[in-house]
Homo-oligomer: A and B are copies of this chain.
């Protein structure tokens, strides 16, 4: 008597259930990480808004290319260490800094 049909079907079903369970597990981790990212970004903008207020009060320009170059170099190094594509880390920082400059300009123009 062959067990193949009986064992293959449940194995296939189990494999499907395992895949779904594993996807669910990974997505739960992604959701946790995203919540952490959102809260860290909120905290980061609190800091950069304070920087923006200082800059506006003291007539400093919203953008600071020298500081940004330092930040990019540092983040690229950290990314390599963390096994993250350094180009992505740089694009990410540029993406965030663009939003920060928008906030700083709003502060300077009295829109915040």
- Please give the residue numbers on chain A whose beta carbons come within 8 Å of chain B beta carbons, in ascending order: 19, 22-23, 26-27, 29-31, 33-48, 50-51, 54, 58, 67, 71, 74-75, 78-79, 82-84, 88-89, 92-93, 95, 99
Contact = CB atoms under 8 A, between A and B. Distances in A.
A112 to B, nearest CB: 12
Given A29-B47, A41-B88, A88-B99, 5 more contacts: A23-B51, A27-B47, A34-B71, A34-B78, A37-B41
Contact of A44 (B33, B40, B75): B33
Number of copies: 2
A contact face: mostly helix, strand, loop, or mixed: helix
A107 to B, nearest CB: 14
Nearest to A57: B19
Contact of A92 (B35, B83, B93, B95): B95
B22 A44 contact: no
A85 B78 CA distance: 27
B71 A47 contact: no
A95 to B, nearest CB: 6
B58 A30 contact: no
